Amino acid sequence: MYSGVLARYSEFLPVTPATPRITLGEGDTPLVRSPRLEKELGCGELYFKLEGCNPTGSFKDRGMVVAVAKAVEAASAAIICASTGNTSASAACYGAICGLSTIVIVPRGNIALGKLAQAIVYGAKILAIDGNFDQALEMVRTLVEKHPVTLVNSINPHRIEGQKTAAFEIVDSLGEAPDFLFIPVGNAGNITAYWKGFVEYYAAGKSSQKPRMMGFEAEGAAPIVRGERVPNPETVATAIRIGNPASWKGAVAARDESGGVIDSVTDDQILEAYRLMASKGGVFGEPASAASLAGLLKWSGKLDLSGKRVVCVVTGSGLKDPDTAMRGSPSLVELPAEVSDVERALGWGT
Ligand code: F0G
């Protein structure tokens, strides 16, 4: 039976005999090939890493299981995070199974409905501030200085440790590191974690190369691309609506050490990729997750991808954000429950 990332990758993680091996089956997510899209884009092989298949529907669970296990080991009674939604869902979930009280601070009005629903049902104390993610994170940093509560945002290094296991899985699945890894960038913890994972696996002799790291911010929330903080970030991809990423330096190091790129994609490009990923790839990711494919679409003409292996990280499930899915969709055709009415609606007139 699969027993989670703490057990599977313990030799690469900061676990001691005193670390509880908690798990909800996080990690071990599918790496699925997309023959239809790889042909259109001219890649040798294109894969999606389906992080929406984690227990709370996003990659956050990989890091949260480690951060919460270490909090329990340190006898902490409470955890706290700022979040655009997914971190709060994951913290609430792992806090719940360990009996910790969980406090989450979210930007009011800018969190997808499904994520809020998760935090509510897992039983977190939710505070929605009149401010953005960056302000929420500043607040959390201040609060943990004054109160006995463990911070579980990705500035907690245990989060990065857990999240790097996704890179391990990709190498374990392919038998080698891919040539390119396309990934959304928000607070920049995940790109930092993936790069750490690829570097460590390479050093351990598990791969003979490392990928070029291709990170994508949303254009209205692109501090790394602009080289300065964005005070009022805006994007349809609320998960990455961040103007001052905590792991800014880690993202730049991943880009520079790998010979990669950090670029931005517009909301229109994100939404186009969001639909394409579902309609031709069969993958329903959330809008922020589609920044990976949007970046690949933007760069495919500039890179020689023939014969290359490309992985796009799909960071979270599309089910978390039904509002974006429904926005602009045609209204449903509503009919009496009669075969003849259905035939007429389909243009199959008799
Ligand atoms: N994709 C999704 C679905 C996310 O939820 C996030 C971040 C990212 C990408 C970007 O990852 O921050 O490591 O660069 N979500 C955080 C949250 C900020 O609070 O849930 P990153």
pLDDT in tens, 168-204: 999 999 999 999 999 999 999 999 999 999 999 999 9
Mean pLDDT for the stretch of residues 34-43: 96
Q: How confident is the model at residue 349 (pLDDT cuts 50, 70, 90)?
A: confident
| 343 Cα: distance to centroid of ligand 1 (angstroms) | 45
| 81 Cα: distance to centroid of ligand 1 (angstroms) | 13
Residue-wise DSSP of 262-321: EEEE-HHHHHHHHHHHHHHH---B-GGGGHHHHHHHHHTTTS--TT-EEEEEE-BBGGG-
pLDDT at residue number 64 = 98
The answer to whether 176 touches 207, Cβ cutoff 8 Å, is yes
pLDDT at residue number 219 = 98
| 237 Cα: distance to centroid of ligand 1 (angstroms) | 10
Mean pLDDT of the chain: 97
Does 185 contact ligand 1 (Cβ within 6 A)? yes
Does 190 contact ligand 1 (Cβ within 6 A)? yes
Does 187 contact ligand 1 (Cβ within 6 A)? yes
pLDDT at residue number 283 = 98
Structure letter (DSSP) for residue 194: H
Strands 150-151 and 125-129: unpaired
The answer to whether 181 touches 313, Cβ cutoff 8 Å, is yes
pLDDT at residue number 350 = 65
In whole angstroms, give the CA distance from residue 270 to residue 54.
22
Does 34 contact ligand 1 (Cβ within 6 A)? no
| 8 Cα: distance to centroid of ligand 1 (angstroms) | 24
Does 132 contact ligand 1 (Cβ within 6 A)? no
Residue to mutate, 48, 152, 238, 240, ligand 1, most ligand atoms under 8 Å from C-beta:
240
pLDDT at residue number 330 = 85
Does 58 contact ligand 1 (Cβ within 6 A)? yes
| 182 Cα: distance to centroid of ligand 1 (angstroms) | 14
Nearest CA to ligand 1 atom 4: 239
| 213 Cα: distance to centroid of ligand 1 (angstroms) | 17
Does 239 contact ligand 1 (Cβ within 6 A)? yes
Which tens digit of pLDDT belongs to each residue from 283-339?
999 999 999 999 999 999 999 999 999 999 999 999 999 999 999 788 899 999 999
In whole angstroms, give the CA distance from residue 224 to residue 186.
10
Residue to mutate, 58, 135, 137, 265, ligand 1, most ligand atoms under 8 Å from C-beta:
58
Which tens digit of pLDDT belongs to each residue from 140-156?
999 999 999 999 999 99
Q: How confident is the model at residue 1 (pLDDT cuts 50, 70, 90)?
A: confident
pLDDT at residue number 328 = 79
CA 340, distance to chain mean position in Å, is 46
Strands 125-129 and 101-107: parallel
pLDDT at residue number 282 = 98
Structure letter (DSSP) for residue 213: E
Helix (H, G, I), strand (E, B) or coil at 20: coil
Does 86 contact ligand 1 (Cβ within 6 A)? yes
Does 270 contact ligand 1 (Cβ within 6 A)? no
